[in-house]
Amino acid sequence: MNATIFPALEIPETLAAGPGPGNTDARVLAAFARAGVSDHMQADVLRGLIECKLMLRQLWGTANAHTFGVAGTGWSGLDCMLSAILPGDTVVAFANGTFSGIDGLTIRMKAAMREDLAADPMDPKPAGVTIITVPHGQSVTGDLVARTLAEKRPKWAFMAHWETGSGRVNDLAGFSDACLAHGAMGLVDAVSSLGVADFAIDDYPGVVGWASCPQKGVLCLPLTYAPVSFTDRYIAEVRKTGCASYVHHPVLEARHWGVIDGQDVTTPTYHRTHSAYAIAAFHEALRITLQHGRAAKARDYAFHEAALRAAVMAMGCTVTSDMTSLVVLNLPATLAGREKELVQKARAKGFGIWPTLSEPVQVRIGILNQLSEPAITNIVRRFAAMLSELGADINMTKVLAGLSRHYATAVAAE
């Protein structure tokens, strides 16, 4: 066998202007690189874990003791949250895009019996799970949730808060109320909303489990932690029924973050080997978000998203999303069908925008960590250049005048 040693891997700096990840703050990267090698039980590493836990409670807006980070990506946190679903459980899941669709698959896998898995190993369809599909581009309404839960009366209900595939905000209050009214335990994918939207999970008592990710609103890509939070009701259920995971066990994993028997302790217990680098980076990312302030950050996202939205509309695009970190759009009619070509050309130039990952094909432009007039103007210019390259006739004077007006109004209003 020939031994092959490849050249050192070089990865360029691009503008991550998609649904996520967002460009990592220099402070987070510095914290990552600055951390010394210390093992996972060293005193400052443990203090960092505990401080991250306390900052996560502030970010989530909760007094839930079981609030911590699951090592990995968004799916890792979701796997931890959904691990409470056992074979044979009844679940209603609402899907309105790519990600809630995959959550639905995870749920079907968790709720599947052996026979269900054997019948369709990659895509099991257990009888107890109902997936309610809401068309792409539409939101899940509280009405729909209430009607469905009243009919099905499941043990668990699931929804994404913000569905990043279609850029839609779903009705969290309606979901929580319906769960309470119909005796379901609510589980929410808050991967895209945490750190962008201003919400406090303790205001939604129908939801017992929450899961987010490191790389979107929390902006800590150096592979770190997916924030999760569980109510006492959820934890009591897991304590009663158990779950089939050691690593993603909601009760056992919390021990390393200093939560034992539902109490905060200063001497955590080993669960797995945490990285001092990851803890240092995550700690800094949480500090940055709390320094910005949950409400102020949400206001800034809404303000800059409105600027980008108006600019792409001035270019002849139509916007179908209502999230504030992401614009999902249809190209001008003359370019319809060329979405993937446009995105590929943009990505080849280091301008990282995305198509939708499920039908219909649309373009997604995100503004994670791009909260300034120069940053939004840069995104607008680069997107306009891509449209022009494909032959669109863009009136750049008008587009930029609109942007200037948007930002001038804000300064005047301050």
Contact residues: ligand PLP, CB under 6 A: 20, 73-75, 99, 160, 164, 189, 191-192, 213, 215
Q: Which is nearer to ligand PLP, 48 or 74 (CB)?
A: 74
Q: Which is nearer to ligand PLP, 164 or 176 (CB)?
A: 164
Q: Which is nearer to ligand PLP, 192 or 370 (CB)?
A: 192
Residues 67, 57: Cα–Cα separation, whole Å: 6
Residues 6+ apart with CB under 8 A from 341: 390
Residues 254, 67: Cα–Cα separation, whole Å: 8
Q: For the chain, what is the largest distance between any 2 Cα atoms, rounded to a whole number of angstroms?
A: 69
Q: Which is nearer to ligand PLP, 199 or 403 (CB)?
A: 199
CB 291, min distance to ligand PLP, A:
24
Q: Which is nearer to ligand PLP, 230 or 259 (CB)?
A: 230
CB 351, min distance to ligand PLP, A:
20
Q: Which is nearer to ligand PLP, 108 or 406 (CB)?
A: 108
Note whether 175 and 159 are within 8 A (CB): yes
129: tokens are 């799970």
CB 156, min distance to ligand PLP, A:
17
CB 187, min distance to ligand PLP, A:
12
CB 74, min distance to ligand PLP, A:
2
CB 103, min distance to ligand PLP, A:
7
CB 108, min distance to ligand PLP, A:
16
Please, what is the Cα angle at 375 between 373 and 378, to 5 degrees?
Answer: 105
CA trace torsion 283, 226, 249, 47 (10° rounding):
0
In the chain the first and final C-alpha atoms are separated, in Å, by 68
Residue with nearest beta carbon to ligand PLP: 74
Residue 313, classified by CB atoms within 10 Å of its CB into exposed (0-12), middle (13-18) or buried (19+), is middle
Q: Which is nearer to ligand PLP, 211 or 315 (CB)?
A: 211
Note whether 185 and 230 are within 8 A (CB): no
Closest residue by Cα to residue 94 from 178, 151, 159: 159
Q: Which is nearer to ligand PLP, 73 or 231 (CB)?
A: 73
CB 188, min distance to ligand PLP, A:
10
Note whether 315 and 394 are within 8 A (CB): yes
- Give me the DSSP letters along 329-364: EEPPGGGTT-HHHHHHHHHHTTEE-EE-SSSSP-EE
